[in-house]
Amino acid sequence: MPCVPGTDSCDSCEGKNSVHYEGEILKKQKRGGTLKKYWFVLLGKELYSYKNQSDLKHKEMKSLAGVFLKEELEQFTDNGMVLHPFMLIFPNKRRIYYLASKE
């Protein structure tokens, strides 16, 4: 069970030195190529996505075991916003995600 969004720790990761980050990520949609916001929680080697930060049930979970991370060049939106993309390279597919800040 992943940590509940918005909390700093949980029973499943407390005291295990697990990686735990969460925040907003933009993902390009297949239809039309528009960017859509999702809330992501990285817990250890599992990446959980939620439609909203307040959702208790995740939309999907991706195991990052054996996945490579590739940093991409910054991109600019039509309104001048800087996006920081990165690619997750899975054994059979690639996905690009975008962050609003480099941190």
Q: Which residues touch 2 (CB under 8 Å, ≥6 apart)? A: 10, 12, 41, 43, 46, 48, 58, 61
Domain map (residue ranges) of the chain: 20-99
pTM reported for the whole predicted model: 0.72
Q: For 55-91, what is each residue's pLDDT tens digit?
A: 999 999 999 999 999 999 998 887 888 999 999 999 9
- CA Rg, the chain, in Å? 14
Q: Which residues touch 85 (CB under 8 Å, ≥6 apart)? A: 71, 72, 73, 74, 75, 96, 97, 98, 99
Topology (CATH) of 20-99: PH-domain like (2.30.29)
Which amino acid, one-letter code, is at 100? Answer: A
Q: For 39-56, what is each residue's pLDDT tens digit?
A: 999 998 999 999 999 999
> Sign of the CA dihedral 49, 50, 52, 57?
negative
